[in-house]
Amino acid sequence: MSFKVDNPKFAPVGVADTYTDAYGKTHLVDMAVKKQLLTMMATNGCEKAPLPSVRVFRQGKAALIPLSGDGEFGWTLMYENGGQVQGSITGGSELLLPDALPLGYHELILMRGEQRWTCRVIVAPQRGYEPEPLTQGKRWWGVNVQLYTLRSQDNWGIGDFGDLRQLVEQVARRGGAFIGVNPLHALYPADPEAASPYSPSSRHWLNIIYINVNRIDDFQQSKEAQAWWRRDDTQRQLAALRAGRWVDYSGVMAQKLAALRLAYDYFKTRSVLDPRVSACRQFVVSCGQSLQRQATFDALQTWLKRQGENYGDWQQWPTCYHDVHGDTVKAFCQENEHEIAFYCWLQWVASEQLAECFAHSKQLGMPIGLYRDMAVGVAQGGAETWDERRLYCLDAAIGAPPDPLGPQGQNWSLPPMNPHVMQAQGYQPFIDVLRSNMAHCGALRIDHVMGLLRLWWIPKAEPATRGAYVHYPLDDLLAVLALESQRQRCLVVGEDLGTVPAEIVDKLRDSGVYSYKVLFFEQDEHHHFRAPLDYPRQSMATITTHDLPTLRGFWQNVDLSLGKELGLYPDERTLQQQIEQRDNAKQGLLDALHQYQLLPQRVGRNAALTAMGTQLSRGVQRYMADSRSALLGLQLEDWLDMATPVNIPGTTREYPNWRRKLSRTVTSIFSDRHLERLIRDLDLRRGLALPPETASGASER
């Protein structure tokens, strides 16, 4: 369930003195913790300017910018798309910019004598992008999948962009509107076992392990690559990787890199006038420094691994490699130009294949196509923090204070962005990460969307309970999000689970951000489940997520049994409380399914005596299909009646997280006639017109 906590007004950027927990109790923040966090956030050495570094306005609102200082100033407003307007003003007053400013990123220049100061002026729409059919009451469905879990007869032991293309075809053929995937962010080619998609090296680039090697023209054309491919030992190794229950990341990466190097060797023999060479060169030039830094990181990490150095986290590298601008790193770049170019080429290939999948989905008539996922942060020792040292506070990590789902609190080991630096840089870091993740998709899920308002910062070496909320410029970030959403024509879904201040729900809704409604949480304290017609229209509904049990796992308490085995509960009493809560929730869900006549009468009414079977599973999915939510995301695991989870929060090495594959191949999943009947039923239900919203149904919370 979502834990709604009232918060009468939004705090300014900075560290909060108090916080209200999920139980409604107010806590004072330890002053020593607050002092630590304020010290981390301090930006020293900046001369006080007479105007702010950035101001954000919604279109149609008066654009007033306060000026400090004394005396007369001249000013020029440079429009993003050309043109300018000028004037003069006295310090200590407010500058009123012209009416009807166009949407976009403009630059205000303030001048006095030889002195110049600049302010980025951002003008944003009231709401983000929303496909017109959804505003007219259409309800779409799609499939959510962890890409690496896909099986096929062709992949190399991990789901790849070729499997994604197959899944697009299967779902489009049956009326689906989208395929939702896990974060595709760059991880670590040199350290493939660091496989969590939510702890990426960088959110700007892609995970090259998803490349479909067989589809690369250079691999097909290379005699050396094809000879390698036909070898018996190659085929045996790939068959073993393909057959495994769990993804063997090290094995898959070793095979793919071996093949990709052979393909790249052939690519280098192409003429400079070859269209593929031109396309790659244009990609590298347009991506600029960010791509070069990512490729350098990957090449350097691989080189350090070969030298026997600590390579997993750049903070553990030899000190001379810590400074991305230092002489040692520059020398490495000069000596390893070919290797860095190889990793740039890999990013181009990955981007090209993802773009092809999205284009194919649109050609097949999917109104959204691909629905991507953006993690809330990046790993401490990855490429992004190595490159953007000033932006990230590396002596802190984000997480969550204690709540019913995490009694000891949570530490996600992700360093937070410094909100003061974000502002000083005109929100460019936020803009860049949005653009990277809105590429090649029709919708984007933002993990832990409350991070736009506040994040729970935990100082290094402190437990998760000794943290504090750091507030971010919510209104500005929502405005930038709306502008980028409109420009990229990308619908935004905000994962708003957990402790949610009530008023952020209103702000998200008013900005056009869709809420995220998970069936298992949509119940009150008496375990009465939300009626389908009471789900808010502006939302995505789903039965479960990657952090929660599958439908069968939920019904059979598989997650609770695993939690007991792995020692996740502090005592037996806590476990028994969880079991009792689950039993009550199952009964409440069964009662709801009968209440709305979604189960045959022969299905029992006592949850303790009712097994998860075809009828019950179908009833739950019909329940969600009947929801008023504009979007419905269904999991392949539930269609396959799988019980084991893909991830158990709170574990690292105790359970093989992010490795469990699906039980059947993509094509065989859709050859099941019972599943065909279910999909037709769900598709018909989503296409039915709903009655007008009632007072209860109109609630968007």
Give me the number of domains the chain comprises: 2
Residues 288, 188 share a domain: yes
Cα–Cα distance, 36 to 33 (Å, whole number): 5
Alpha helices, H only, 566-647: 572-595, 614-625, 636-639
d(CA 691, CA 700): 17
Both 228 and 324 in a single domain?
yes
- The secondary structure of residue 169, as a DSSP letter, is H
Looking at the structure, do residues 284 and 361 belong to the same domain, yes or no? yes
| Residue 433: both structure tokens together | 């990460």
β-pairing verdict for 396-400 and 410-414: antiparallel
Statement to judge: residues 187 and 106 lie in one domain = no
Co-location of 237 and 109 in the same domain: no
Residues 380 and 293 in one domain: yes
Last residue in a domain, options 365, 389, 413 = 389
Whether 629 is in a domain gets the answer no
The DSSP annotation for 358-416 comes to HHHHHHTT-SSEEEEEE-S---TTSHHHHH-TTTB-TTEEEEE--BTTBTT-EEEEEPP
The two three-digit tokens of residue 347, written as one number: 């990013």
H/E element, 455: strand 454-459
Residues in contact with 270: Cβ distance below 8 Å, sequence separation at least 6, in sequence order: 276, 277
Question: Is 135 contained in some domain?
Answer: no
What is the extent of the structural domain holding 374? 182-389
> Are 4 and 525 within 8 A, CB to CB?
no
Cα–Cα dist 63/86, whole Å? 15
> Among 389, 417, 449, where does a domain finish?
389
Burial readout 556-566 (b: 16 or more C-beta within 10 A, e: otherwise): bbbbbebbeee
Helical packing angle, 249-267 and 223-230, nearest 10°:
150
Residues 273 and 345 occupy one common structural domain: yes
- Indicate the residue type of 355: A
Continuous segment of H or E residues that includes residue 94: strand 94-96
What's 115's domain CATH number? 2.60.40
In whole angstroms, what is the distance from residue 423 CA to residue 473 CA?
9
Q: What is the pLDDT of residue 404?
A: 65
Give every CB contact of residue 182 below 8 A, 6+ residues apart in sequence: 145, 146, 147, 148, 197, 373, 546
Which is nearest to 454 in space by CA: 398, 511, 513? 398
215 lies in the same domain as 353: yes
* Residue 160 belongs to some domain of the structure: no
Q: Are residues 103 and 209 in the same domain?
A: no
DSSP states along 278-296: HHHHHHHHHHHHHHHHHHH
611 by DSSP, 3-state: which? coil
- What gap in Å lies between CA 265 and CA 585, rounded to an integer? 58
Q: Is 60 left (phi over 0), alpha (psi -120 to 50) or beta?
A: left
| 566 part of a folded domain | no
Listed residue (327, 393, 459) closest to 319, CA to CA? 327
pLDDT at res. 45:
53
Q: What is the 3-state secondary structure (H, E, C) of 26-66?
A: EEECCHHHHHHHHHHHCCCCCCCCCCCCEEEEECCCCCEEE
In a shared domain, residues 335 and 195: yes
Give me the pLDDT at residue 5, please.
37
Phi-psi region of 597 (alpha: psi -120 to 50; beta: other; left: phi over 0): left
Q: What is the pLDDT of residue 403?
A: 75
Residue 19 maps to a domain: no
* pLDDT recorded at residue 3: 38
Last residue of a domain, one of 327, 357, 389: 389
Q: Tell whether 335 and 249 lie within a shared domain.
A: yes
- Say which DSSP state 523 is in: B
- Per-residue b or e along 586-612, where b marks 16 or more CB atoms closer than 10 Å to that residue's CB: bbbbbebbbebebbeeebeeebeebeb
> Could you say which residues of the chain have pLDDT below 70?
1-11, 44-47, 404-407, 694-701
Q: Is residue 599 a contact partner of residue 687, using CB atoms and an 8 Å limit?
A: no
Is the residue at 700 inside a domain? no
The CATH number for 243's domain is 3.20.20.80
Backbone angles phi, psi at 288, to 5 degrees: 60, -145
pTM attached to this predicted model: 0.95
Report residue 299 as tokens. 């090449």
| CA 556 centroid distance within chain | 29
Nearest to 374 by CA among 543, 498, 204, 249: 204
CA dihedral 591, 594, 599, 603 (to 10 degrees): 60
pLDDT of res. 500: 77
What is the chain's alpha carbon radius of gyration, rounded to the nearest angstrom? 26
* Residue among 382, 388, 387, 384 nearest 189 (CA): 382
Q: How far is CA 429 from CA 275, 418, 510, in A?
A: 32, 11, 24
Identify the pLDDT of residue 6: 34
Query: Residue 57: left (phi > 0), alpha (psi -120 to 50), or beta?
Result: beta
CA atoms lying within 13 Å on the CB side of residue 15:
22
Shared domain check, 345 and 198: yes
- Strands 539-542 and 115-124 come out as unpaired
| 226 in any annotated domain | yes
Does residue 350 fall inside a structural domain?
yes
Element of type H or E holding 423: helix 419-424
